[in-house]
């Protein structure tokens, strides 16, 4: 008699359920520590390293090779600060997305254009949010700071590229 097959829990099924794809709307590269982000229409993602020209490149396949934030979260942060808008460069994230819930990508593989990435964790705010936005800046970003990711397959990506989750078995077999 074979062992019983474990049924997937309802919560597991919901967590791995389909996610609506989105789009890349903004790219920022940090040429050096504490320097303003250089805004670009495209970027070269290097597997296991990071973004070409970004000071945060890693040589040890670190978990924080790129950072993403949703434009929808930027709108919420602006509202919490009593502002009309928030410049994405002030949050020091590399990519701004639209139309995709980044939290739904946690612990999943996803593509931006031809690049394959792995979501590695939430991107929590740092004390620099107080510098950027003034008193209350840190609290305004809490829970809305975006996602960190590791680059598994590099590619050149550009504004307008689709962002979509990839099933784990499909990512491994590609």
- Residue 104, token pair as written in the block: 């739904």
Angle at Cα 64 formed by Cα 60 and Cα 69, nearest 5°? 160
Question: What confidence tens digit (pLDDT) does each residue in 128-142 have?
Answer: 999 999 999 999 999
CA angle 97, 100, 104 (to 5 degrees): 120
Sheet of 50-51: strands edge to edge?
Answer: 50-51, 42-46, 155-158
pLDDT tens profile 95-128: 999 999 999 999 899 999 999 999 999 999 988 9
Residue 127 is assigned to a structural domain of this protein: yes
Count structural domains, the chain: 1
Tens-digit pLDDT profile for residues 48-99: 999 999 987 777 888 889 999 999 999 999 999 999 999 999 999 999 999 9
At residue 171 the predicted structure's pLDDT band, cuts being 50, 70 and 90, is: low
Question: Above pLDDT 70, what percent of the chain?
Answer: 89
Q: What is the CATH number of the domain that holds 129?
A: 2.40.33.20
- Mean pLDDT, the chain, as a whole number? 90
Q: What would the two tokens of residue 11 be?
A: 């919560």
Check pLDDT > 90 for residue 147.
Answer: yes
What would the mean pLDDT of 143-168 be, rounded to a whole number?
95
Question: Model pTM?
Answer: 0.87
Asked whether residue 34 is assigned to any structural domain, the reply reads: yes
Domain membership of residue 7 (yes or no) is no
Find the domain containing 99 and state its range.
Answer: 20-173
In a domain, 3, yes or no: no
Choice between 72 and 174, residue whose per-residue pLDDT is larger: 72
Does residue 138 form part of some domain? Answer: yes
DSSP the chain: -PPPPPPPPHHHHHHTS----EEEEEEEE-SSTTPPPEEESEEEEETTTEETT-TT--SS--S-SEEEEEHHHHHHHHHHHT-S---GGGGT-SEEEESS-GGGGTT-EEEETTEEEEEEEE----THHHHHH-TTHHHHHTT-S-EEEEEEE-EEEETT-EEEEE-HHHHHH-
80: in domain: yes
User: What was the pLDDT predicted at 53?
Assistant: 93
12 domain-assigned: no
């Amino acid at each position: 008699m074979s062992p019983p097959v474990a049924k997937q829990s309802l919560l597991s099924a919901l967590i791995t359920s389909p996610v609506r794809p989105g789009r890349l709307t903004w790219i920022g590269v940090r040429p050096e520590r504490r320097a303003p982000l250089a805004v670009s229409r495209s970027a070269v993602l290097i597997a296991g390293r990071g973004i070409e020209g970004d000071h945060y490149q890693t040589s040890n396949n670190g978990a924080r090779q790129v950072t993403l934030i949703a434009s929808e979260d930027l709108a919420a942060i602006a509202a919490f600060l009593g502002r009309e808008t928030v410049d994405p460069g002030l949050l020091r994230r590399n990519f701004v997305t639209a139309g995709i819930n980044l939290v739904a990508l946690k612990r999943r593989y996803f593509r931006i254009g031809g690049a394959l990435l792995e979501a590695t964790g939430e991107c929590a705010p740092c004390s620099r949010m107080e510098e950027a936005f003034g008193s209350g800046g840190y609290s305004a970003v809490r829970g809305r700071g975006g996602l960190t990711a590791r680059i598994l397959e590099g590619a050149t990506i550009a504004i307008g590229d689709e962002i979509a989750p990839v099933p784990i078995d499909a990512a491994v077999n590609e």
